[in-house]
Amino acid sequence: MGLNRNSIAFYYGPGQLIRLAAFDRVVLQPGHFGSEDLAWLRQRGTLTLAYLSLGQDAGEPMPWHTDLDNPEWGTRFVDVANPAWIARCVAAVRANLAAGFAGVFLDTLDRPLDTESENAKMLSLVRSVREAAGSAYLLANRGFSLFPELAGLVQGMVFESFSTTWTLDDLYCTVLPRDVLEHNSRIANALASFGIERYALDYAYSRQQLSFARARARLHGMSWSASNRSLTMLPDDLAFGNQTATSLDA
């Protein structure tokens, strides 16, 4: 599965600059790449996006933390309306753009309580981020309950775990159940009407899973990428990697 332009990679590890330059867009952890690295990728036509979590935070307890945690990632859900959290997110956007990133990847948009009030708070935070980013590229991860308003604030969206997903064991991935696949297809078809770029991010190791997920994304008009749970592997790594993933049964 050779790489090509008009593609995207999600990579949270260090290094791999030459391989990253094969992609149109790459989502990176800011602390792993300096301004010279970003400039090198930009000169080769690769648009770099800095990872930014809007709805969850790790580390020591902070005033914006809520009582709800996400044990799968060791994070806390945050009060996205907290002024200090908003200021922190805005500052991160400005710092990453000043460092040479071309845009920002907005993660953890989904909330434990999918209510109108919570959605309004998250949309307000995204608007603050958009204002700080100016015309820079913003890519949103999921956040389906925030549409259609979200479509007017970002240039692209990612459908994470569209066909396959990770498990808590980083060496094991699984195809989603048939009813979830059908539900995701309905969402993908609805998202197609908003006129923004659409990407699918799946998690897979076996060749069967990779082929299935890639073909299904393309069937729904989405560019596609895949990685492992910790997003430290590029798509080409997976095709030749661990073969203990579940067999295709969808």
Q: Let me know: does 226 contact 219? Beta carbons within 8 Å.
A: no
- pLDDT, tens only, 39-68: 999 999 999 999 999 999 998 999 999 988
pLDDT of residue 170: 57
Read off the pLDDT of residues 138-178 as tens digits, 9 standing for 90 and up. 999 999 999 999 999 999 999 999 999 987 765 678 899 99
Summarize the confidence of residues 209-219 as an average pLDDT. 93
Q: Is the model's pTM score more than 0.75?
A: yes
Q: Which two tokens stand for residue 240?
A: 């030749």
pLDDT confidence tier of residue 229, bands split at 50, 70 and 90 = confident
| Cα end-to-end distance, the chain, whole Å | 22
**93 within some domain:** yes
| Strands 8-11 and 223-227, bridge-based pairing | unpaired
In a domain, residue 2? The reply is no
| CATH code for the domain of 40 | 3.20.20.70
In a domain, 250, yes or no: no
Sequence letter at residue 133: A
Take residue 181 and report the two structure tokens written for it.
């696949």
How many structural domains is the chain composed of? 1
**Order of strands across the sheet with 65-70?**
56-57, 75-78, 65-70
C-beta of residue 12 within 8 angstroms of C-beta of residue 231: yes
User: What is the C-alpha separation between 240 and 208, in angstroms, rounded?
Assistant: 12
Confidence (pLDDT) at 246: 30
- Domain of 74, in residue numbers: 8-239
Q: Cis peptide leading into 148, omega within 30 of 0?
A: yes
182 vs 241, more confident: 182
Using CA atoms, how far residue 137 sits from 27, 94, 101, in Å, is 12, 13, 10
Q: Is residue 244 part of a domain?
A: no
Longest distance between any two alpha carbons in the chain, whole Å: 47
- Label residue 23 by pLDDT band (50, 70, 90): very high
Q: Does residue 70 lie in a domain region?
A: yes
- The 10s digit of each residue's pLDDT in 80-116 is 999 999 999 999 999 999 999 999 999 999 988 779 9
Q: Give me the pLDDT at residue 93, please.
A: 98
Strand partners, 197: 156
Residue 3 pLDDT exceeds 80: no
Those residues with Cβ within 8 angstroms of residue 181's Cβ, 6 or more apart along the chain or in another chain: 163, 175, 216, 250
117 domain residue, yes or no: yes
Distance from C-alpha of 245 to C-alpha of 174, rounded to nearest angstrom: 7
Does residue 57 form part of some domain? yes
In a domain, 246, yes or no: no
